Amino acid sequence: MRAIFPTDDAGPVLGPTELASWYAYPARPWVRANMVSSVDGAVTVDGRARGLSGDADRRLFGLLRALADVVLVGAGTARVEGYGPALARPEYAALRTAAGQPPAPRIAVVTSSADLDPASTLFADAAPPTLVLTCASAPPERRAELGDVADVRVVGDEHVDLAAAVAALVDTGLSRVLTEGGPHLLGALAEAGLVDELAVSISPVVAGGAAGRIITGPAMSPSPMRLISLLEQDDFLFARYVRADRVDDLVAPSAGSRT
């Protein structure tokens, strides 16, 4: 990938080690969101985000997962995108070992209804088990069924309390959180003030249609963000924004040549 910002030369090329340094988590609990969008703002093609992806985007996707302790996702996105347990990636094995992390991040699914199939790939061969973050109003029988194949946490009464959910992850030792949405979950996290960082992949396509935005939900007060870095590869742009009041918690990428 080629750095566009910050840089003081023609744009250094970043390899895996440099990228890992640029996207390193700070030494505090941190929620990073990673979403992909077309140039005209669509988040899906034919109902799925995969239609917007490409080799460069998938490589960064793999790196961001490799840096995280846990991948937080909404139940709808998990179903539509066919989520399974996160895979161990050999190219990042040394990175995770050095950080004291297991071979792959855990998956945590947010669902107020507990409407998930216990036989789905989401739970098959997941070790440690997939986390299910639900609420007390979810049908007890569904929670019991999921409890046989997953680590079920009740965080909230009528709805999932996202602040309590993130706190539960941190208490479990999963402080480096990566959320991949979908837009409804990301909107709720943003409304609750829980998104510290937004990594947006801008796909070089125009999609049109009625696809939604990366955030869906009620209008909220604008949250100022600061651009930390901008990378380019294969006409994709990879922007990294951090909340203005969180910038001091993060070591920003430095300008200069990298190979």
What is the C-alpha to C-alpha distance for residues 145 and 61, in angstroms, rounded to an integer? 31
Domain count, the chain: 1
CA distances for 173 relative to 18, 77, 169, 170, angstroms: 26, 24, 7, 5
Query: Mean of the pLDDT values across residues 163-167?
Result: 98
Is the pLDDT reported for residue 20 higher than 80?
yes
List the one residue out of 194, 169, 198, 176 whose CA is nearest residue 67: 176
Tell me, yes or no, whether 144 lies in a domain: yes
Tell me, yes or no, whether 160 lies in a domain: yes
Q: What is the pTM of this model?
A: 0.92
What is the C-alpha to C-alpha distance for residues 120 and 125, in angstroms, rounded to an integer? 10
Tell me, yes or no, whether 125 lies in a domain: yes
pLDDT value of residue 254: 52
The more confidently predicted of residues 162 and 49 is 162
The amino acid that residue 258 corresponds to is R
Tell me, yes or no, whether 110 lies in a domain: yes
Rounded to 5 degrees, φ, ψ at 37 are -145, 150
Question: For residue range 206-258, what is the model confidence (pLDDT) as tens digits?
Answer: 988 888 889 998 888 888 999 999 999 999 999 999 999 999 998 656 544 33
Other beta carbons within 10 Å of 226: 15
Tell me, yes or no, whether 115 lies in a domain: yes
Decide if 233 contacts 1 (C-beta within 8 A). Answer: yes
The more confidently predicted of residues 220 and 122 is 122
The CATH number of residue 183's host domain is: 3.40.430.10
What is the C-alpha to C-alpha distance for residues 48 and 50, in angstroms, rounded to an integer? 5
Q: What's the domain range around 158?
A: 2-249
Tell me, yes or no, whether 259 lies in a domain: no
Decide if 64 contacts 178 (C-beta within 8 A). Answer: yes
Is the pLDDT reported for residue 146 higher than 80?
yes
Question: For residue range 33-68, what is the model confidence (pLDDT) as tens digits?
Answer: 999 999 999 998 888 888 888 999 999 999 999 999
Tell whether the torsion through CA atoms of 69, 74, 80 and 82 is positive or negative: positive
Tell me, yes or no, whether 255 lies in a domain: no
